[in-house]
Amino acid sequence: MTAKTINLTLKVWRQKRLQPKGEFETHTARNISTDMSFLEMLDVINEQLVLDGKEPIAFDHDCREGICGMCGAVVDGEPHGPLKETTLCQLHMRHFKNGDTVIIEPWRARAFPVIKDLVVDRSAFDEIIAAGGYISAKTGGAQDANNILVGKDAADKAFNAAACIGCGACVAACPNASAMLFAGAKVSHLGLLPQGRPEAKTRVLQMVRTMDRLGFGNCTNETECEIKCPKAISIREIARMNREFVKASFS
């Protein structure tokens, strides 16, 4: 069976470097197999651009399996595109119609400056993690760590929070460019486990302060972050982080 193909008009954000601001450039994507992923479609465009002696479109990617959190662009106004719980690398062209015009932009947030085209600098997330998103308590060898019992409820909640891949879609989706879903997921996944409790107070205080310093906005319960999170991280993580923060601030 031959794969179905479609033709699209792409309006892609092109920007050479941090400054000056870029602009949209129009490309025609011809004979795109609907079995392709969105990133494979961009690969096809880039091959043609290279053949034409032009600069290919810069975009981030690594695993292309929805695991690493590297990919991401705003497609038709939605981070990672129109599908729920799907990263851009796992979005397939069968979800577009022949003749569609597709608008592709980078994440838009003060804390994520554009490096080039669709690539943004997400090192602000690394700074938040470095501020407290780890456990430094000694837990011994693997066998010793397995001797620390973790309740089923806490283990499930920690596991759900640990699904965050740090892609930044939550920030891109939020009208305040808030990173609270990301930080909340990290605070929960570490703080719910017995190994993470000794550092819970300093962790939440330092991560929240770092997030504020780096220019991320506050949460005003828009819930866009939860809706566009490819890993379905719940805004309950934000509520849990707020409770931890208040407790830590007054103790």
Enumerate binding residues for ligand FES (CB under 6 A). Answer: 61-64, 66-71, 87, 89
Nearer to ligand FES, 203 or 231 (CB): 231
Looking at the Cβ atoms of 79 and 132, the one nearer to ligand FES is 79
Q: What is the dihedral of CA 146, 149, 155, 161, to 10 degrees?
A: -70
Name which of 63 and 130 has its Cβ closer to ligand FES: 63
The distance of closest approach from Cβ of residue 12 to ligand FES in the complex, given in angstroms and rounded to an integer, is 18
DSSP β-ladder status, 5-14 and 23-33 = antiparallel
Considering beta carbons, is residue 3 or 63 the nearer one to ligand FES?
Answer: 63
Question: Rounded to the nearest whole angstrom, what is the least distance from the CB of residue 66 to ligand FES in the complex?
Answer: 5
Q: Measure the CA–CA gap between 10 and 24, rounded to whole angstroms.
A: 9
For 152, the token pair is 């089923």
CB of 70 or CB of 131, closer to ligand FES? 70
Smallest CA-to-CA distance from 188 within 137, 230, 241 is with: 241
Q: How many angstroms separate the CA atoms of 238 and 240, rounded?
A: 5
Instruction: Give min distance, CB of 153 to ligand FES, in A.
Output: 29
Least distance to ligand FES, CB of residue 171, Å: 16
Q: For residues 69 and 79, which CB has a smaller minimum distance to ligand FES in the complex?
A: 69
Contacts of 11 (CB under 8 A, 6+ apart): 24, 25, 26, 101, 102, 103, 104
Residue 72 CB, shortest distance to ligand FES, in Å, is 7
Could you tell me the smallest distance in angstroms from the CB atom of residue 232 to ligand FES?
Answer: 14
Angle made by CA atoms 151, 148, 242, in degrees to the nearest 5: 55
Using CB atoms within 10 A of its CB, is residue 65 exposed (0-12), middle (13-18) or buried (19+)?
A: exposed
| Phi, psi for residue 74 in degrees, rounded to 5 | -90, 120
Q: How far is the CB of 10 from ligand FES (least distance, A)?
A: 19
Closest by CA to 71, choosing from 237, 230, 232, is: 230
C-beta of 29 vs 165, nearer to ligand FES: 165
